[in-house]
Structure 1
Amino acid sequence: MRSSIVVLKEQIKQFHLVRRLSVYEIKSQTSGNYLGAAWEIINPAIQIMIYWFVFGFGIRQRAPIGDVEYFQWLFAGILVWFFINQGVMKATRSIYTKIRMLAKMNFPMSVIPNYVVISQFYPHLILLGIGIIILQFMGYPVSIYYLQLPLYMAATIALLFSITLITSTLATIVRDVQMMLQAMMRMLLYLSPILWPPTLLPESWQTWLKLNPFYYIVEGYRNTLLGQGWYFLENPMYTLYFCGLVIVLFMIGAYLHVKFRSQFIDFL
């Protein structure tokens, strides 16, 4: 608990530094490309079209999901996945790739995975804005359910920071964690209800599937963008489970980070 309080205080105290470093991070990533930040839109667009063609035309034969066409259903759920995937992967390797450069700067190391996660939030906002405009022309206008969207954004950031506190610490100690996590994230894409509806599984299996916290985020986004309901209110026990899991992950991540951060430089 003490470690959690320490890390939480560090994030609050260094909030403005996190914001500045996150802006610098996204600029540094796109400065060497001719198209710059446009790649943050181009890459997801290509992947969405591939998934839509393979799963929509090939496997599902253009069959709708309930009363929603497959493309709109896929599109509303996958928008947040790009943020999740990039946030986890880049923040996991953030400490051991940046610690030498930042060692002389006077701020706590727990800030590093946080500002990397936030740097991936900016492209997500752009992609989400474009997605909302596209959905308007597909028959899904902005509705009152959009009021819950900031809640899912905050939940996603909290979840990613909690996870990457753990993974960035472990990846600094053991580099194999990065490769293992890459395989796990690829697997989670297919185990989360992004490319296929969970209703294809027996109801007892769906309960196990919901142990994946990304399920909650994806379904929350999908219910918001497609105007299908107040997901967090309609599933109160699942909301409590998600919040409890984030707290537990944060406590574990904070403990590991505070315990090992004085030794990080020794593992490089």
Structure 2
Amino acid sequence: MHTMFQIISEQFQNYKIIRRMAKFGDRATYQSHYLGLAWEVLNPLIQIGIYYLVFGVALKRGDPMPGVPYLPWMVVGITPWLFMNRSVLDASKSVYQEVGLASKMKFPVSILPSIKIVGNLASFWTMLAFSVFLMLVNHMYPSVSWIQFIYYFICMMALLYALGIFNSTVTVLVRDWQITLQSILRMLFYMSGVLFNFATSNFPVLLIRILELNPFYYIINGMRESLLNKGWVWQEPNLTISIVFWMFVFIVMTVGTFLHNKFRANFVDLI
């Protein structure tokens, strides 16, 4: 427990370094591209266009929620998914790729996953602004339920760091884990309610309840309900799922920080 709080405190103590390194990483990634940082927006927009043509047009899916067209509903959900998917994968490689840099610059290795997560936030905010634009075009206006977005954003960042510190350590110990993680995330894409609403599907009730325990689903559905004014976090079944979500984050964070603290002195040798 002490180790977990120590590593969490390192994130706040080194927040300025995290921001500077994340900003530098973004520029370095696209410095040789003609469109530069514009690809941070173009890539998700292209994916959204493909998914909408397949699921919204070709398969002619109806409104997933009463009074909510498919396109804004899908974009509000796919925005956090694209951010979480990329952040989980980037954070899982962070220690393996950058531990040498951390040893030279003398900052805690534990902030490497945070640098990757923060580096992807610019794309997330841009896509969120696009989501709000689509909502306004479809006559869905801000309401008091939007305040819940802050809570779900905190949930998302907590989940991403817990997974980041765990996956980045395991990837150093077991190199195959990073490839396995990619396959897991591809499967979770279809199990997180990004493209269709579990509540309006023909799935058995028990299966829906199991799928709702997915932490990615909790965040995606929570942000949707907040921005689309369709539910509150303290209502059932959201309250029960919230407890399960935070238990999951706590367990992953505890195991991840323990492993990180145990092996970080040997990261360079292991790599």
Same fold (TM over 0.5): yes
2:256 corresponds to: 253
After superposition, the CA RMSD in angstroms is 1.4
2:230 corresponds to: 228
CA contact 2:91–2:114 (8 Å) conserved in 1: yes
CA contact 1:65–1:197 (8 Å) conserved in 2: yes
2:4 corresponds to: 4
**Once the 2 structures are TM-superposed, how far is the Cα of residue 101 of structure 1 from its aligned partner?**
2.5
**Once the 2 structures are TM-superposed, how far is the Cα of residue 134 of structure 1 from its aligned partner?**
2.2
Of all paired residues, the percent bearing the same amino acid is 33
CA distance in 2, matches of 1:27, 1:177: 28
1:244 corresponds to: 247
**Once the 2 structures are TM-superposed, how far is the Cα of residue 14 of structure 1 from its aligned partner?**
1.4
Within 5 Å, which residues of 2 pair with 1:153-172? Answer: 153-172=153-172
Residue 234 of structure 2 aligns to a residue whose secondary structure is: helix
CA distance in 2, matches of 1:132, 1:115: 27
Where structure 1 has 5 or more consecutive residues not aligned to the other structure, the ranges are: none
Partner amino acid, structure 2, of 1:204: L
CA distance in 1, matches of 2:167, 2:97: 14
Residue 95 of structure 2 aligns to a residue whose secondary structure is: helix
1:211 corresponds to: 213
Within 5 Å, which residues of 2 pair with 1:102-181? Answer: 102-181=102-181
Q: Give the TM-score normalised by the residue count of structure 2.
A: 0.94
Residue 16 of structure 2 aligns to a residue whose secondary structure is: helix
For residues 166-221 of structure 1, give each alpha carbon's deviation from its aligned partner in whole angstroms, at most 9, with x where no partner exists.
Answer: 11001112221111111111111011111111122111111111221001100011
CA distance in 2, matches of 1:195, 1:139: 21
CA distance in 1, matches of 2:143, 2:27: 33
CA distance in 2, matches of 1:45, 1:12: 32
Count the aligned residue pairs: 266
Partner amino acid, structure 2, of 1:103: S
Within 5 Å, which residues of 2 pair with 1:60-79? Answer: 61-67=60-66, 68-79=68-79
CA distance in 1, matches of 2:6, 2:216: 27
2:31 corresponds to: 31
CA distance in 1, matches of 2:70, 2:43: 20
Where structure 2 has 5 or more consecutive residues not aligned to the other structure, the ranges are: none
CA contact 2:10–2:108 (8 Å) conserved in 1: yes
For residues 87-125 of structure 1, give each alpha carbon's deviation from its aligned partner in whole angstroms, at most 9, with x where no partner exists.
Answer: 001111011111122321111100111111111112111
Structure 1 ranges of 4+ moved more than 4 A: none
CA distance in 1, matches of 2:30, 2:148: 31
Q: Give the TM-score normalised by the residue count of structure 1.
A: 0.95
1:262 corresponds to: 265
Partner amino acid, structure 2, of 1:65: P
CA contact 2:84–2:160 (8 Å) conserved in 1: yes
CA contact 1:91–1:168 (8 Å) conserved in 2: yes
